[in-house]
C-alpha cells in the first residue's frame, strides 16, 4: 500500500464506466488516491487494480446505489468523516429512454433520485466539509442540455439544470473559502449512457460526439484554468460570457414591488 497521496483522495461517483472511469484514470495520473463509487463492484475493482499498478496510487472501492437514500447517506458519511478526501467528482447519472411523452415516470423518478437528490446531498456535504477545512474541490457533471432543454428530454435536462444552478450557487457561497467548484457541461460523449437507457449513439452525427478521454482532459484543463462552467467543445468563450451577461442584465428586473405595466394590473 502506498503512502497517503499529497494530492489527497478523489471520490468519483459512477466510476465503473464512461466519464467517471476516465476521470479516475486521469486523477490517478495526477497522483490522487481514489475512492471509486458505483453499483458494479467487480468493474470498480478491476479498474482500481489497473490504476494502482499503472500509477502507484491507492484505490478503494465503495459499492453504492446512489438512487437509494441509505446508500447515499453511507457515501455522505464518508465525505464528511474521511479527511483524506480533497476532491469529489459528482458524476454518476443516467440518461433518458426517449422523449418525455414516451418515457416511463417511475424511471424518471429514479433519474431524479440519482441525478439530483444524490448530487445535492454529496455536493453539500463536500462543500460544508471542505469549507470548514479551507480547501478541497467539487466537480459536478451537468450537461449542455441544461442550456437547451427544448431539444432534449425535459426531466433529464432539468436534472442537469439543477446541477448547474447548484454549482453556480455553491461557487458564490464558497468564493472566499479556498474550495474550488466546477460544473462540467459535456455535449454528446461516447460512453455507455445511451445503451444503458435502451438506445444507441449510432444514429447520431459522429461530428457531434466527443471521445470520453478528450472530454475529461478538456474538463480537467478547464478545472486547472479555474473555470466555473466548462463546456469542452466551446471554442468561443465570449458566447458563454454573453449568455451570463444577459442573465446578469435581467437581475435588477426580476423582483420588484409593482407588476410590469404591460399587465395593466396593480396600483
What residues are labeled active site? 156
The separation between the first and the last C-alpha atoms of the chain, rounded to the nearest angstrom, is 73
Burial of 74 (0-12, 13-18, 19+ CB in 10 A): middle
By the rule CB under 6 A, 77 interacts with ligand NAP? no
Task: By CB under 6 A, tell whether 40 contacts ligand NAP.
Answer: yes
CB of 253 to ligand NAP, least distance (A): 32
Does 220 participate in binding ligand NAP (rule CB under 6 A)? no
Q: Count CB neighbours of 174 within 10 A.
A: 18
Q: Which stretch binds ligand NAP (CB under 6 A): 77-85, 87-95, 170-178, 250-258?
A: 87-95
For 198-236, the three-class secondary structure string (H helix, E strand, C coil) is CCCCCCCCHHHCECHHHHHHHHHHHHHCCCCEECCCCCC
Kindly give the residue spans of alpha helices, DSSP state H, lying in 56-118: 69-81, 105-112
Q: Which neighbouring-strand residues pair with 60?
A: 35
Binding to ligand NAP by residue 39, rule CB under 6 A?
Answer: yes
Residues 6+ apart with CB under 8 A from 254: none
For ligand NAP, the closer of residues 170 and 183 by Cβ is: 183
Would you say 177 or 187 has its CB closer to ligand NAP?
Answer: 187
* Interface pick for ligand NAP out of 8, 186, 222, 232 (rule CB under 6 A): 186
State the minimum distance, in angstroms, from the CB of residue 85 to ligand NAP.
17
Binding interface with ligand NAP (CB under 6 A): 14-20, 38-40, 43, 64-67, 91-95, 114, 141, 143, 186, 188-189, 191-193, 196
Amino acid at each position: 500500500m502506498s503512502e497517503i497521496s499529497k494530492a489527497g483522495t478523489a471520490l468519483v461517483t459512477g466510476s465503473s464506466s464512461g466519464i467517471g472511469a476516465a476521470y479516475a484514470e486521469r486523477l490517478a495520473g495526477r497522483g490522487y488516491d481514489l475512492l471509486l463509487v458505483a453499483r458494479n463492484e467487480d468493474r470498480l475493482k478491476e479498474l482500481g487494480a489497473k490504476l494502482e499498478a499503472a500509477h502507484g496510487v491507492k484505490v478503494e472501492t465503495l459499492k453504492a446505489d446512489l438512487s437509494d437514500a441509505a446508500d447515499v447517506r453511507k457515501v455522505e458519511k464518508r465525505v464528511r468523516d474521511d479527511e483524506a478526501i480533497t476532491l469529489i467528482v459528482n458524476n454518476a447519472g443516467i440518461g433518458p429512454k426517449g422523449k418525455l411523452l414516451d418515457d416511463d415516470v417511475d424511471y424518471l423518478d429514479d433519474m431524479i433520485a440519482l441525478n439530483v437528490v444524490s448530487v445535492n446531498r454529496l455536493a453539500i456535504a463536500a462543500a460544508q466539509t471542505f469549507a470548514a477545512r479551507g480547501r478541497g474541490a467539487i466537480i459536478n457533471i451537468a450537461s449542455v442540455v441544461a442550456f437547451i432543454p427544448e431539444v432534449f428530454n425535459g426531466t433529464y435536462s432539468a436534472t442537469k439544470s439543477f446541477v448547474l444552478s447548484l454549482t453556480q450557487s455553491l461557487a458564490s457561497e464558497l468564493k472566499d473559502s479556498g474550495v474550488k467548484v466546477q460544473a462540467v457541461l459535456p455535449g454528446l460523449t461516447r460512453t455507455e449512457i445511451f445503451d444503458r437507457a435502451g438506445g444507441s449513439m449510432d444514429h447520431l452525427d459522429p461530428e457531434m460526439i466527443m471521445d470520453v478521454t478528450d472530454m475529461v482532459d478538456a474538463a480537467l484543463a478547464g478545472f486547472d484554468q479555474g473555470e466555473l462552467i466548462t463546456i469542452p467543445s466551446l471554442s468561443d468563450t465570449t458566447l458563454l460570457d454573453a449568455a451570463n451577461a444577459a442573465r446578469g442584465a435581467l437581475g435588477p428586473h426580476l423582483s420588484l414591488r409593482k407588476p410590469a405595466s404591460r399587465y395593466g394590473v396593480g396600483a
